[in-house]
Amino acid sequence: LQDVFDRADELLKPTLRLSVEISHAYAEVLRQMSQLASLAEVRSDPLTRINNRRAFDESLDGLLREQVRYPATFSLAMIDIDHFKQINDVHGHAAGDSVLKVVGARIAGTVSATDLAARVGGDEFVVVTDQPTTIAQALEFANQVRLAVSEPIPLRLGSGPAKVKVNVSIGLAS
């Protein structure tokens, strides 16, 4: 009977060793996933869930460095919500946060997968296109953003539902 136990033990040792290795590999995968999630958080705005200033700075830096090797035109749109302070003053900061979320989502909805939309501070957003873009194309894009953002934004206020109309000012460079 002892021989059977010894033989079973001998057969199971490689399986146990493999089980321990798999467990360690799984723990490493979880650690790396956690690090990736942390990096994503560092590059995204916690309120609007779009890219933040850091992501914008890194993207623009990369594009400018690439220009040295592969000259091409790209466009930059600086977007500012008009009279945003008044929205906060009249409707409260929670309403202002809702407006920022909606505006961020609408701006992000107008860009292509290779463009970068980011909230760079307060009520200021930026879009960087990494594809060759003329100033006329950038102007057309800015008009699309303006139209998307100008749709009334529904809010839930203490006094009940309301809608806020938002306008933006956009500066372009190409």
Backbone angles phi, psi at 48, to 5 degrees: -90, -15
Helices (H), the chain: 2-42, 53-69, 84-91, 93-110, 135-150
Q: Which of 45, 57, 115, 123 is catalytic?
A: 123
Going by DSSP bridges, is the β-strand pair 75-81/168-173 parallel, antiparallel, or unpaired? antiparallel
Q: What is the largest CA-CA distance in the chain?
A: 87
> Alpha-carbon distance 174 to 167, whole Å?
23
The answer to whether residue 123 is catalytic is: yes
What are the catalytic residues? 123
